Structure 1
Amino acid sequence: MFSSQNTFKTGVYRANGSVANWKFRITLKKIYSLIEIPRFDSSIDEEPLEEPSNSEEEHLDIAWQEKVFSKSEIDYYSARDNCHTELQNAYYHKIKSSRLTEQKSRGKIFTYTAADNFALDEELCATIGNKTVHLDDEKLNMETMFVMADLDTEELLFSLAWNSTENVLFVYPDFNCMKINPYYKEIQGDSRQMYHFGIKNLSFKKWITCSQETVEIRDVFASKITRFNIRDKLSKDNFEYPENHQVQFLILLEIISGTGFSYSDIFIRYRLDIPSAAKMIAGFVDGSTHSTKQCKGRWLYGHCHEITLQLPENHKTSDDCVRIYFDIISTDSWKRELL
């Protein structure tokens, strides 16, 4: 039932009317919570304790770019001293007028709208008609909205992007049915919790699925958002990853042995010539081995060297690649070097 879920599909829809008229229903349901019991006796099998299942579902009908505050946002913006910008002041008056601070029960679902300037990553893009475009490209008038859930930490449920130039809406993951194919999210912490969630289109008649000829979307959009979610998880564990539009290369060099030398005390000095566009993250561009004598016709070294480079993702390695130069050097009794 809770097997590994594949990469979600992205729904692509063309609007017959304004996106402002579009509404959707978000459903969130907690399936179970498993609490791990400390193991004090090795003879006792370690089994999780399952809490009673909570069958209550949380439903929230949201319009396009409708702001729904999280618990932390309500606490923050309800304090007058925290509000300085025009947007913050607007949130302050909205929270006070709707008396959100007086509500005892607050839902887990909230949203980030275009005004919040929230983004998963600057690289967020989609492929439309064989042309890769950035969702934050002003020329395309791309507007985004994110549906989140407060599950001890902020968790992304749905990403939505509206292209006003083409009147196309991207929904990731696509619309689903909670009873047939719910999406699920597993939260790891002091306890392991499982949630089901779904999104329903409440304005279905005003939208039609784009045909293959109208909009051609690839798996790039889904895979990128999945990668951003993974990045967010890893960043919480202080895992470092390359900067945007950059790729890193780890070069491992091992000098094992040499043959055909005329002298005995031989060592190898080497230098790496890196591309001009490369940035060295770790390591050195030069080094040398220890000197060694001949042993059964071979000079043994077993020398290892590594270097990490960062390059732009569009860099063509065929034009400008890494080159390695070697100098074979012998030393005499006076420690003088002979090439």
Structure 2
Amino acid sequence: MYDFNSNNKLPGVYWLKQPIDDLKLKIKIKPKASAINLPKYEEFMNISTTADLDKIETEGIDEYVFKWQEKVFSAWEIKTYSDVHNCGTETQLDHHNALNTKEYKPQKVFTYIHEDSYLPVPLDLNKFQNQRSNFNLLSCFENLSLTDTFRSFGGSSSLHQLFRSQESVIEKSSWISMHVVFDDSTYTNDTQLLIKQEYILLSLYYNTTDNYLIISPDVNNLVQNPYNVSTENCSANFEYGVEIIFDESESDQDLVNLLNKLYIKWQKKHKQMVKFIPAPTGKEKFHVNIEIVSANDFDMDNIYIEYEIKIPENFKCEDILHGRTHISKANNGDRFWTYGQIIELDIENDEEIELSPLQLYLEAISLDWWGRQRTEGYCYLPLWLIPGYYNKVLTCSLPEEVDKVEANTRRFFVGGCHLIKDLEVLSKPQLQNTNFTYTETGNINLRYSVIRQVNSSVEVAAASSSSGSALLQRAELVLREYSRAAASLAAAIKHIDSAYT
């Protein structure tokens, strides 16, 4: 969407990769609350779909989306620009014509575009400093007469000439501005303006020369880092969040094609650079690739998967054996979450030692709107190191306390409790506690592949012996041919000698 130089990142400054016309602004506003409002216990127990969760998360939040340079009118602007006698500039006349051709509703959150000239644009400081260094200060003192009396800036005094000289140095930069403003003005019943009061929520300045955007204040999150606004006339003060969105453009396909071509070239070059490294003699290596593909049919939303892999004692593995996926959100309440998390393991083992399976433990965890984490289910897979490609669908089970009322209450307020202290309980059912029962919840889909690489000492000895015998056979064949050639040469010399005599 947008990018910035990580070595020189300034707050609110973004270098654009897409056209500025694709930019959209999203402002989220909600009333400021003194305490966190939680849903009632009965409402929470009736939640069955992700659509209900989304309704709770977005309740009381107003969203406003604006396009770049989109003009949205406030109540006093519509009242003012509807009368042509109040329009003295070309921009105001354009607003008057727009109001006559299309019906606009007054908005509490409206915009000032660049043509409104609401606030001055930033100055190009580098250009100003360069030009200021060339400014001859001595010429200013020559024009400044100490005998002249001080007069207003409207006269022709030397001091006025000095200020005019400084103003001529500063040139306007190539900036385009836009402002999002909250209207807190006081009106009569017939929309007559009594007290004009405005609060700037967001200001954007786009530099057309260097193609970067200044956002003030910077992008934030309404839940984690809201901006607070205390108004004078509005009875309920509010807080808001800022988000920048870019539309998907058709030119992205050209970038995808370019990346595919670069990837093909990289593969060809990579094949020439990579050299095959055999396994040590008497050892066997296993290359295991595990992919956590997706999950489905869990009760809550915003789910991530934690995994832990236990290696047998006689195996050697230096890779990371525990981690987690990203948080996935279901689309349109279909109760399906995608991940594509890859786990790669390189395992080494002595050839004489009998193989044992890897222990793969998975835990599905949900995150609600208040930041509480809940276990949605556990599952276990004994992964045998047999070469091949496999697909697995693992059914998760959730331990529950015998007292259902106490269990549901604890799960609602604190997210439940960890009834399983050691994950080996999943692989050894005899260690399970009888104080709770297991209930099937959802499924986790896996794909994994196993590649075995071995360099056996018996095969090496056989190969060496076979190569030695082949070498001896070739030497005997060469000696036999040499003897025949020597005999033929001796017979030929004897025949020549007898003929000469």
Under a length normalisation based on structure 2, what TM-score does the superposition of the two structures give?
0.30
Query: In proportion to residue count, which structure has more strand?
Result: 1
Taking CA–CA contacts closer than 8 Å with sequence separation of 6 or more, which of the two structures ends up with the larger relative contact order?
1
Under a length normalisation based on structure 1, what TM-score does the superposition of the two structures give?
0.43
